[in-house]
Amino acid sequence: MAVQTVAGNAATPGTTTTTPSVDLGPAAALSCRECGERFELGPLFACASCFGPLEVAYDLPAGSPEELKARIEAGPDNIWRYAPLLPVPADVAQKPNLNPGFTKLVKADNLARELGVTGGLYVKDDSGNPTHSFKDRVVAIAVEAARAFGFTTLSCSSTGNLAGAVGAAAARAGLRSCVFIPHDLEQGKVVMAAVYGGELVGIEGNYDDVNRFCSELIGDPLGEGWGFVNVNLRPYYGEGSKTLAYEICEQLGWRLPDQIVIPIASGSQLTKIDKGLQELIKLGLVEDRPYKIFGAQAEGCSPVSAAFKAGHDVVRPQKPNTIAKSLAIGNPADGPYVLDIARRTGGAVEDVTDEQVVDAIKLLARTEGIFGETAGGVTLGVTKKLIEAGVIDPALTTVVVNTGDGLKTLDAVSATSQATATIKPSLDAFRTAGLGSA
């Protein structure tokens, strides 16, 4: 059952409380992104006054930046090293969860040469997470919120990776799970979502239909006691993406990158990476200098990119048609905030064709030995396009986020990635076929 403590805390109307009745560490309240109104921590996601999205507000740790840095560096090699900056209880690392994060930041010198980047090019490779996508970060935080609010079933609307991350995290946490996906996803995503033993439901429709269905389910008695990680737990879920920003800066030696390229589905990840960078500046953990954020979409689902290029503040929904299914959200909830961030930081939002996505997947594999999923192809494809257009500066430090594993989207490259030849087991056959010179 959803525990919603409103009366218990005896907050005087019109005042805000900094002593929430649930223990989510430094999280103090929820606050509206639009009007700033504050609410007690709970499974809320929209402002009661203006319907704006809610986000977590903190009592951030006191003490010097050096003390905080030392505390973080002494922490575990996963996202819980940043627990003082996340809405999680202090003993979170002792609870049963998948401990995602602290993935590799790969210095991609071969790729840099190929793209003409001289200022340092890095791939933040989130395919190394427990279920092989960045979604383990956001789910790990949502699980703590679900526990705090007494939810017994973990759920989500998913473009594929989230369903797997929720299934796995629920299994480990001892919660029930029931997750919803569009019926026509890649086999790798479906199997990975189903194998953990929860309920997996294919919906006849696209992601936006799945999401609408979940909103209805939340309001129905059937959905009582359910924590939808990206709906009624969305403010907490989103905070998980801040850890990408923290890790990138720590791995660069507590330094901001100059440019960072991030894929966009709902836009949550991009907006929270920006929030994470802002927090590091505010806490004095990195030097305050300008950085640019670039967003990446597939042409077949490019509502944010289209709005950016047209100079619009609102995002007009699209009907997705692309091989980058993990990014196929035609009506992205955080689209307007992505536009704000790209414009405020001097970045951009761009899109690439499915063909360019495939080329970029193979480019990353060929140069750096990293096999990214289609979302990774979108991000690297957009990086390449923006370098060629003179928008991304090759003389500056650039980080490209690879958010998922190519094994989940084999279809994208299987037609053009096959055995070079099949031969009899003899040297003669090998020689006759003209092989061995690659």
Ligand X SMILES: *Cc1c(COP(=O)(O)O)cnc(C)c1O
Query: Nearest distance from residue 94's CB to ligand X, in Å?
Result: 28
52 touching Zn ion, by CB under 5 A: yes
Q: How far is CA 112 from CA 109, 173, 383, 390, 393, in A?
A: 5, 41, 11, 15, 12
Helix axes 374-388, 354-368, angle to 10 degrees: 90
Q: Which is nearer to ligand X, 68 or 189 (CB)?
A: 189
Q: Which is nearer to ligand X, 20 or 131 (CB)?
A: 131
Query: Nearest distance from residue 28's CB to ligand X, in Å?
Result: 24
Residue 417 corresponds to which tokens in the numbers above? 């990635």
Tell whether the torsion through CA atoms of 43, 48, 51 and 53 is positive or negative: negative
44 touching Zn ion, by CB under 5 A: no
49 touching Zn ion, by CB under 5 A: yes
DSSP 168: H
Choosing from 161, 206, 251, 398, the residue that interacts with ligand X (CB under 6 A) is 161
- E strand intervals along 266-371: 292-298, 348-352
302 touching ligand X, by CB under 6 A: no
Residue 111 interacting partner from ligand X, Zn ion, none (CB closer than 5 to 8 Å by kind): none
Residue 407 interacting partner from ligand X, Zn ion, none (CB closer than 5 to 8 Å by kind): none
User: Between 182 and 221, how does the x/- string for binding to ligand X read (CB under 6 A)?
Assistant: ----------------------------------------
Q: Which is nearer to ligand X, 182 or 267 (CB)?
A: 267
Distance between CA 178 and CA 187 in Å, rounded?
Answer: 18
Q: Which of residues 90-149 bind Zn ion (CB under 5 A)?
A: none
Distance between CA 117 and CA 97 in Å, rounded?
Answer: 39
Residue 34 interacting partner from ligand X, Zn ion, none (CB closer than 5 to 8 Å by kind): Zn ion
Q: Which stretch binds Zn ion (CB under 5 A): 37-45, 63-71, 191-199, 392-400?
A: 37-45
Distance between CA 156 and CA 175 in Å, rounded?
Answer: 14
Q: Which of residues 359-398 bind ligand X (CB under 6 A)?
A: 373, 375
Q: Which is nearer to ligand X, 20 or 240 (CB)?
A: 240
326 touching ligand X, by CB under 6 A: yes
DSSP 242-272: HHHHHHHHHHTTS---SEEEEE-SSSHHHHH
Cβ within 8 Å of residue 326, ≥6 positions away: 133, 159, 160, 161, 189, 265, 373, 374, 375, 403, 404, 409
Residue 87 corresponds to which tokens in the numbers above? 């809405």
CB 408 within 8 A of CB 160: yes
User: Between 245 and 274, how does the x/- string for binding to ligand X read (CB under 6 A)?
Assistant: ------------------xxxxxxx-----
227 touching ligand X, by CB under 6 A: no
Choosing from 19, 23, 34, 431, the residue that interacts with Zn ion (CB under 5 A) is 34
Number of chain positions touching ligand X (CB under 6 A):
18
CB 47 within 8 A of CB 30: no
Sole residue written with tokens 């009366």: 7
Binding residues for ligand X, per CB under 6 A? Answer: 133-135, 159, 161, 263-269, 326-327, 373, 375, 403-404
List interacting residues with Zn ion (CB under 5 A).
Answer: 32, 34-35, 37, 47, 49-50, 52
